[in-house]
Amino acid sequence: MNRVALARIPSGSSLSSRRIEEFFKDETVSEVMINGGSEVWVERNGRLEHVDTVSQTETRSFIERTLLPLGRRIDITAPVVDARLGDGSRMCAVIEPIAIDGPCVSVRRFSAKRITISDFACQQVAEILQQLVFDRRNVLISGAASAGKTTLLNSLCDFLGTNDRIVTIEDIAELQLSHRNVVRLEARPSSPDGNLEISTKTLVRTALRLRPDRLIIGEVRGAETLDMLSAMNTGHDGSMSTIHANSARDALRRVESLVLQHAANWSREIVQDHVASSINAIVHVARNIDGSRFVKEVLLVSREGLNEVVLDGRVLREVW
């Protein structure tokens, strides 16, 4: 798929005869979405806008064209697919009978522009985030969907030591690290062809045998959470991950809940102590009304309690 590619389409024009690839000519477009097989929406400069329509036939053809070189398929037996495209973009597609009104597609484009911490925070807050990385603190980045969690994680990785051996683990590989000593692992779903699932939990355990100095886990949301915390608490200082949550404190509670689900014989007190000894800081990102992303909170975590360092993007106090 051409990522340099979607001139702005005049409002009201019919696009049923156009190929969907034409929607990627505009470099300001960060995501392309198709609802019900025909309604095309794009996210441009942080804002969603309805562009026009395409035919359901073209939508289905686009999905199949995109999946073919990846060796993936979508059909009635496997109506949902998540895939990493050749340029690093990520596509999620859903077809009938799961998608009631017709095929649905979302393509989050790989950005050629390098996003830095300064795009998320003022200099004071950026310095706090850098120091967390330099001091090898274990950091969890939280936020809502499309808040910029992975993008900020990628930016923080710019400050990892040049001699560090880094192992990344993701459901769909999106991180673009510039370091030389990097091992990238990507989970694999099971398939109708008989391929067994290789879960994020399995990859976390595998990563520990690859001699990592730092573990970078794209997102935790299940059984891998306990393995991540154990790794953070047993010599892999400076590791990082992301999690969906509405605030930094909600992220902490969600981690505790995930651990309780997969360590049923642990008491809540033991879980809270384990989490506090593993995670040193939670960085919460949010979106402004204009669509821009920013660091809303930085919460320091310890056995002694929680300390807010940044709130609503403002520095409340110095960490050191």
Is the pLDDT reported for residue 1 higher than 50?
no
- Examine the fold and report which residue of 108, 134, 158 is the final residue of a domain before the chain moves on: 108
Query: Residues 157, 216: one domain?
Result: yes
Query: Residues 147, 67: one domain?
Result: no
Long-range contacts of 208-211 (CB under 8 A, 24+ apart): 208/236, 210/167, 210/183, 211/165
The confidence score (pLDDT) of residue 7 equals 34
> Which tokens hold the place of 74?
């979508």
The confidence score (pLDDT) of residue 117 equals 93
Whichever domain contains 54, its CATH number is 3.30.450.90
Query: Residues 280, 170: one domain?
Result: yes
pLDDT band with cut points at 50, 70 and 90 for residue 14: very low
* 11 is a domain residue: no
* 47 is a domain residue: yes
- Examine the fold and report which residue of 77, 108, 139 is the final residue of a domain before the chain moves on: 108
Give the tens place of pLDDT for each residue, 119-175: 999 999 999 999 999 999 999 999 998 899 999 999 999 999 888 999 999 998 889
The confidence score (pLDDT) of residue 168 equals 96
pLDDT band with cut points at 50, 70 and 90 for residue 6: very low
Q: What is the pTM of this model?
A: 0.83
* 291 is a domain residue: yes
Query: Residues 79, 43: one domain?
Result: yes
Compute the mean pLDDT over every residue in the chain, rounded to the nearest whole number: 87
Query: Residues 174, 268: one domain?
Result: yes
Mean pLDDT of 212-217: 95
pLDDT band with cut points at 50, 70 and 90 for residue 107: very high
Residue of higher predicted confidence among 114 and 194:
114
Percent of the chain with pLDDT over 70: 93
pLDDT band with cut points at 50, 70 and 90 for residue 16: very low
The total number of structural domains that make up the chain:
2
DSSP states of 10-39 as a string?
PTT---TTS-GGGGG--TTEEEEEEETTTE
Mean pLDDT of 284-297: 91
pLDDT band with cut points at 50, 70 and 90 for residue 319: low
70-79, 254-263, 301-310: least confident range? 70-79
Query: Residues 146, 85: one domain?
Result: no
The verdict on whether omega for the bond into residue 6 sits within 30 degrees of 0, i.e. cis, is yes
* 15 is a domain residue: no
Max Cα distance, the chain (Å): 63
The confidence score (pLDDT) of residue 153 equals 96
Is the pLDDT reported for residue 201 higher than 70?
yes
**Residue 265: domain span:** 117-315
Query: Residues 65, 186: one domain?
Result: no
Instruction: Give me the residues paired with residue 139 across strands.
Output: 240, 281
Give the tens place of pLDDT for each residue, 228-287: 998 898 888 999 999 999 999 999 999 999 999 988 889 999 999 999 999 999 999 999
* 6 is a domain residue: no
The confidence score (pLDDT) of residue 4 equals 32
- Kindly list the distances between the CA atom of residue 69 and the CA atoms of 4, 19, 176, 233, in Å, as whole numbers in the listed order: 20, 18, 22, 41
3 state SS of 93: strand
Q: How far is it, in rounded angstroms, from Cα 140 to Cα 217?
A: 10
- Which of 33-37, 65-69, 280-284 is most confident? 280-284
The confidence score (pLDDT) of residue 46 equals 78
pLDDT band with cut points at 50, 70 and 90 for residue 3: very low
